Each structure stands twice: as structure tokens, then as C-alpha cells.
Amino acid sequence: MISSKKTFFLLRGEAVLKQVDVKLIFKPMGRHKIMEPIIVADLHNHTTSSDGDFSPEELVKQARALGLKALGVTDHDTLKGLAKAVRAGDNCQIEVIPGVEVSIRFKQPCFTGTLHLLCYFSRERLADAAFVSRFEAIMGQGRGEGLVSDRIAQINRVFGPHGDLPLLKREMVFQDIADYSTNATRRHFALALAEKLGINDRETVNRIIGNDSSAYLPSGIDLSRAGAIIKELPVAAVLAHPAAGSFPGAGHYKEVLPPIGVVEKILPDFLAVGIHGLEVYYPGHTLEHQEILKSWAKKYTLFVTGGSDCHDAVDRPLGASGISASDLKLFKAAIP
């Protein structure tokens, strides 16, 4: 079943990048179905302030072109770009809800890797120097040049020309990553492997930087520090894409996240630090998984969110997922 078609365009400057229909109710994926509400708000998106392709201003213009009423801007582990996004939203009559996607490091028997916590707050907090300083100080402990250097050293030790499993023709250097961003993520390492070291095969890339790699070092802060964010700062904290690791088949939304059964084992740890919501509507969540997540939300009195996890115009476009007007009202009421 598909709702009445309404066509919009994704823009970059004056160029049309992609034609989309945001009134999709669900789309079949083989025997799997992706269920979405009528989208009025897309609450999970990235800009050039982390690993997105679009500037904050470009992202807001795309939201306007799609007919969205509200846009969440949630770059990885940084508040940079939020003030620009809010100003652009005012100019475009789009409500921009500031947030950040905080990386949480896990090294447990059931999972070694990084999960993500979407932390939303009111726009007034951006002018609060103490809020911004404290937030950035906590996040800075889980990312940055130190972590990048450690990861590069580990990759070279295992996969460098003189490593245990030599896959690289030369050693990776810090500048390979810094050329893409000073706020490096796994995506930047993948780009460096492809564009600077000539490794394009997805299986080989995952062997080098995937969670199961012997060279893997998880990014992010400990969950206890995430609890400090929730307890000390006025934020609404949401567990991001809990079922994306169980996305059927290959896909950009699956990445290296754990399956939903593993997330269920870890969920009590997130509840213990005081999360407030679950990201239910997501391009990598099937209908079956959405129903499971909604049952979790009901059981633990958590509100529901949704977003596209937009990074670009092709593989992860804006407007692919989001929430309805009623869910938006509940979400906004939960922001301190």
C-alpha cells in the first residue's frame, strides 16, 4: 500500500540530485516490508560537520524542498554546525531540532563495537557556554586525533606491508584520514582505504575496519559517561537504529551494528543510565523489527522517534524515514 504520490527534489545549490516521493507508507523489500508513518519530521541527519555530504544550510534547503515541518540535525560527536542549521531553518520556515549522535563504546562478550545515542536539546542551549563546553568535553574523550592515531597504528601492525596479515601496499598515515575530516568516523577510514590505498572491495574493507577485525578499536565514550550527559545536561536521549544490524541482506544502513537480539541484551544498560526514547522508524528497520521496537517502547515507557540517517543524496538520502505529526508532538514535549 502506497499513499498518494507527491514528488519533491533533493537539491545541492541549484542542481537537482534526486527525485523522491516522501509520502511512501511502505515499500516492499522482497518478502520484507518497511513501514513508515506519513513523514512530517526527519530527526536523524548528518552534515559536513561530521561525515555528511551536505552543509547545514544545504540540508535545511532539502528539508524545505521535501515539505518537512521539522528537521533533526545530529552530527557525530560534535555540536558544530548546529547554529548554522538553526539559522537556516529560521530563514526557510523549517523547525530545526538540534542534537548530536554520541558514540558509545562497548567491549562485552556479546558485542565489541560502537552503538549510538541521539541526544536532542532545545535551541536555547546552543547559547549556553557551560552546556556546550561540558557536552563537548565528555564527547571528546571518545574520539579525536588520539583515537585516530591509535587505530592507524593498529591497522598497520596487523594489515600493513610488514604486518601479520599484509593487505596494504603501504602503511596508512594520519594525513590519509585527516584529509577527509578532523572528526573522523569509520566512513572516513573506508574512504581512505578506497581512494588512497586502492582497497575498494567491501569484504576486504570490513576485514580491516569491521567490528570483527583483529585491528578494531571501538570509538566512543563509555556508557557511564553517556549517563553523565543524561544526568547532568538537559537532553532527550534516544537509542539510535536498534534493529539496523538485523537489516535483511546487504545495505548501507546495516553497517557493522549488532543484530537486534544482541541489542536487546544491552538494552538494560541503556535503561539504567536513563534513556528516554527509541528510534523506531529507520530505513534499515523492517516492519517486523519496528513492531518489536514499539513493544519495547511501550514496556519501558519510552517515546518513539524516526529518521533517515541522511549522509548523501544517493545511498542515504533525506526523507527516507521519519515520524508523524502526533509522534513529533510527543517528542518535542520530551525535550527539556
> How much is the average pLDDT of 153-169?
96
Same domain, 58 and 138: yes
Do residue 116 and residue 11 come from a single domain?
yes
Q: Which of 69-73, 106-110, 135-139 is the least confident region? A: 106-110
49 lies in the same domain as 36: yes
Cell 571518545 sits at which residue?
142
Same domain, 19 and 105: yes
Q: How confident is the model at residue 259 (pLDDT cuts 50, 70, 90)?
A: very high
In-domain check, residue 38: yes
Tell me if 78 is assigned to some domain.
Answer: yes
Q: In what order do the strands lie in the sheet with 111-120?
A: 41-42, 70-76, 95-108, 111-120, 236-239, 277-281, 303-306
Give the separation between CA 303 and CA 298, rounded to whole angstroms.
8
**Is the domain of 183 the same as that of 311?**
no
Q: In the chain, which ranges are E strands?
A: 7-12, 15-21, 26-29, 32-35, 41-42, 70-76, 95-108, 111-120, 236-239, 277-281, 303-306
Q: What is the mean pLDDT of the chain?
A: 88
Q: Which of 189, 209, 229 is the last residue of a domain?
A: 209
Spatial distance between the Cα atoms of 48 and 145, rounded to a whole number of angstroms: 18
- For 199, half-sphere exposure in the C-beta direction (CA atoms, 13 angstrom radius) is 23
Backbone dihedral angles phi then psi of residue 64, each to the nearest 5 degrees: -65, -45
My answer on whether 122 and 157 are in the same domain is no
Using pLDDT thresholds of 50, 70 and 90, give the confidence band for residue 255.
low
Which of 209, 236, 257 is the endpoint of a domain?
A: 209
- How many separate domains does the chain show? 2
Helix axes 56-66, 82-92, angle to 10 degrees: 30
- Confidence band for 68, pLDDT divided at 50, 70 and 90: very high
Residue 178: domain span: 145-209
Cβ-Cβ contacts under 8 Å for 270 (sequence gap 6 or more): 117, 223, 239
How confident is the model at residue 20, as a pLDDT? Answer: 44
Say if CB 70 and CB 328 are below 8 A apart: yes
In this structure, the answer to whether residues 240 and 130 fall within a common structural domain is yes
State how far the Cα of 209 lies from the Cα of 224, in Å rounded to an integer: 25
Task: Please report whether residue 2 resides in a domain.
Answer: no
Is residue 214 one of the residues assigned to a domain? no
Q: Poorest-confidence range of 18-32, 61-75, 105-119, 248-262?
A: 18-32
Tell whether 132 and 90 lie within a shared domain.
Answer: yes
Q: CB of 76 within 8 A of CB of 118? A: no
Domain assignment of residue 254, yes or no:
yes
> What is d(CA 185, CA 188) in angstroms, rounded to the nearest whole number?
5
Task: Tell me if 1 is assigned to some domain.
Answer: no
Other beta carbons less than 10 A from residue 13's beta carbon: 7
Grid coordinates representing 31 are 518478502
Mean pLDDT of 171-193: 91
Residues 94 and 162 occupy one common structural domain? no
Residues 177-196 have a mean pLDDT of: 90
Q: Are residues 59 and 187 in the same domain?
A: no
Q: Any idea how long the chain is?
A: 336
The pLDDT value recorded for residue 37 is 63
CA distance 325 to 39: 8
pLDDT above 70: residue 316: yes
Q: How far is residue 198's CA from residue 168's CA, in Å, rounded to a whole number?
A: 9
Last residue of a domain, one of 209, 228, 251: 209
DSSP 275: -
Is 194 found in the same domain as 288? no
CA distance 256 to 244: 9
**Shared domain check, 156 and 110:** no
Q: Which CATH number is 130's domain given?
A: 3.20.20.140
Q: Which residues, other chains included, contact 239 with Cβ-Cβ below 8 Å and sequence gap of 6+?
A: 115, 116, 117, 118, 263, 267, 270, 275, 277, 278, 279
| Residue 215 within any structural domain of the chain | no
* Pairing mode, strands 15-21 and 41-42: unpaired
Q: Model's pTM, two decimal places?
A: 0.76
228 is a domain residue: yes
